[in-house]
Amino acid sequence: MALYGLKLCEATHHEVGPFETMNTKFRMATEGDPAGMVKVLHLLLMAFSWGMQLWVSFIAGYVLLSKVTRHTFGLVQSKLFPMYFYCLLGSNTVSLAIYAVYHPRELLNWHETIQMALFFVAVIVAGLNAQWFTPAVIEHLLVMMEIEQEHGLGGEIGFSTNRERYIKLREQDPKYKAHRNSFNRFHGISTLSNLIGFACTTINLIYLALHLASI
């Protein structure tokens, strides 16, 4: 009788429930090599993020600035940047999710931990820009443009034209000066966070390229 009870206890102790089986299968799947489609999606998302950041941050703005008036440039940027940062937030979030699924925290080595941190920082700065920094920049920009238009400014091409008149307006109009200072502050923070996100994406993309099996 005692022997039967011992065997029953051992059988009960080693019995594997359905949830434990599902968890084991999921862990084995995520710890292994991701499927081909997942790799393609991950690479496309990172390439999309990096290319978009490169174009918007370093090319599109300078081209527009040299071809259209200041106020046209401001209006285009006020429509472009919210969409840009929300697209960036979405692609960075999905990239982070894919990486996290296939790199469980307890199995991360030091360079994978750095990659995870870079993905996380890229998501954070894109979210801050989308939700707070960019709306603040646009709010002050539109007020500034309205005041400038009242003084016959904003129709020139490039920021070097009529610089003295803008400086004079800033000195004479306290409202314009306040909005200008706030604009510069939020624009600087937004630019810095955007560059941080670009650096994070660049480092992760370089690491991914260096570990490709073949080109």
Predicted local distance difference test score (pLDDT) of residue 86: 98
Nearest Cα residue to 122 out of 215, 46, 183? 46
Q: Determine, yes or no, domain membership for 133.
A: yes
Indicate the number of domains in the chain. Answer: 1
Q: Determine, yes or no, domain membership for 11.
A: no
Q: What is the pLDDT of residues 43-62, one digit of tens each?
A: 999 999 999 999 999 999 99
- The H-or-E segment that residue 36 falls in is helix 36-55
Predicted local distance difference test score (pLDDT) of residue 4: 44
**How far is Cα 65 from Cα 188, in angstroms, rounded to an integer?**
18
pTM of the model: 0.81
Q: Determine, yes or no, domain membership for 82.
A: yes
Cα separations in angstroms, 208 against 40, 42, 60, 99, 213: 12, 10, 27, 12, 10
The conformation of residue 35, written as its DSSP 8-state character, comes to: P
Q: Determine, yes or no, domain membership for 164.
A: yes
Q: What is the pLDDT of residues 128-171, one digit of tens each?
A: 999 999 999 999 999 999 999 999 999 999 877 788 999 999 99
Residues of the chain with pLDDT under 50: 1-16, 18-30
The conformation of residue 139, written as its DSSP 8-state character, comes to: H
Predicted local distance difference test score (pLDDT) of residue 9: 43
Q: Determine, yes or no, domain membership for 20.
A: no
Domain extent for 177: 35-211
Q: Determine, yes or no, domain membership for 6.
A: no
Predicted local distance difference test score (pLDDT) of residue 215: 64
Name the CA radius of gyration of the chain, rounded: 26
Q: Determine, yes or no, domain membership for 69.
A: yes
Q: Determine, yes or no, domain membership for 199.
A: yes
